[in-house]
Chains A and B, each alone.
Chain A
Amino acid sequence: MNGCEDKVASIERWLDGELSGAESESLRVHMVACAGCSEARRRLEKLQSTLTGVLSSEAQRVDFMPFWRAVQLRINEKRPWYQDALDWMRGVLPASRLAWVVPAVIALLLAGVSLESYWRGGRNAFATVESIDAYGRNVALLREYDTKTTVIWLYQDQEGENEAAEETAPSGPAF
């Protein structure tokens, strides 16, 4: 049996009919030549025969009807929608793929934040005047959309203002 330890497993599979034709033939030839393996085969066949006998006699006394009824009930049972969804998720996203979903979601969120920031930057290119006090003078506020320009225009041509005001031709721009 020296060096034949792995053959025991093959003999078990052979007895269960799980080996292919070529494997079965190879094992059969080996067992003819190897006394240890032949003895192992004999012991396993005896064990299988005993187990089969016991199970067959006991099975006749077991009432399988409740078992089959339960199986039928499970088959006919309407599964909740989330169970179907979970099964579908497991099929589409096995654990290895699911591991990638987390960083992918993070990346998508980051992209969303960046886009929002970019969009907000464009929208907020205009200067916004939060407070203004011209000490009684007239002030005009202009927003020009093409160039995104905000203009605060201070009119200083009131009586009592400096002399230079009188030198100025227009009192304000023509915007």
Chain B
Amino acid sequence: MKLLKKPPLRVLLFSLLAMLAVAVTGTAQTQPQNIEVRIGAILASNQNDEFDARLKGLEKQLRVLKYRSYRLLTDKSENIPRNGNKVFEIPGGRSLMVTPQEFQDNRIALQVRLTDGKKPLLDTTVRIANKGNFILGGPPHEGGVLVLSISATVQ
């Protein structure tokens, strides 16, 4: 600790720590190895006023859609390697292929392809914040509509 009493050494130590912080900040934006993608499939309908307690974290977002009832059907998450893809089975015989494309400025670009059997329904590329999500909805299901919450987290 005696060394710390010498101002030039303190300055040097401080500078080194600052440079280390800069290095850490810089490397924080390197491309991740894996992206955890989570797909929550929700049935939205006007048949009753039930709100599934498991959807508490999404309640404010789902209320935007103005349906009366929301029920979680499936909730799956997968680690997808960079430049890889994963097919998620969606209720109603549909499937969703997710391909993480890029991670930049703390945002993840996801290519999402929704198909019904072999018939393509939607092909989109969405850039979302790390740990953020977006809602994809509309396909009819069991007297209501299917709403998908698609979120991604850098691993």
Contact = CB atoms under 8 A, between A and B. Distances in A.
Interface stretch (A2-10, A84-92, A105-113): A105-113
B51 to A, nearest CB: 15
Interface residues of A, number: 51
A132 interface: yes
Interface string B131-149: 0111111111111110000
A54 interface: no
Contact of B121 (A107, A131, A156, A173): A156
A132 B64 contact: no
Contacts of B107: 124
A130 B14 CA distance: 43
Q: Is the interface of A mostly helix, strand, loop or mixed?
A: mixed
Size category, B interface:
35 or more
Interface string A47-58: 000000000000
Contact of A151 (B22, B65, B105, B123): B65
7 contacts: A127-B129, A134-B121, A152-B126, A154-B114, A156-B139, A164-B141, A168-B143
Interface of A: 96, 99-100, 102-103, 106-107, 110, 113-114, 117, 120-121, 124-135, 137, 139, 142, 144, 146-147, 149-157, 162, 164-165, 167-170, 172-175
4 nearest CB pairs, A to B: A154-B138, A127-B134, A174-B66, A173-B65
Given A102-B15, A129-B125, A173-B67, 6 more contacts: A110-B22, A121-B106, A130-B125, A135-B123, A149-B134, A153-B138
Interface of B: 7-8, 11, 14-15, 18-19, 21-22, 25, 44-46, 60-61, 64-67, 92, 105-107, 109, 114, 116, 120-129, 132-145
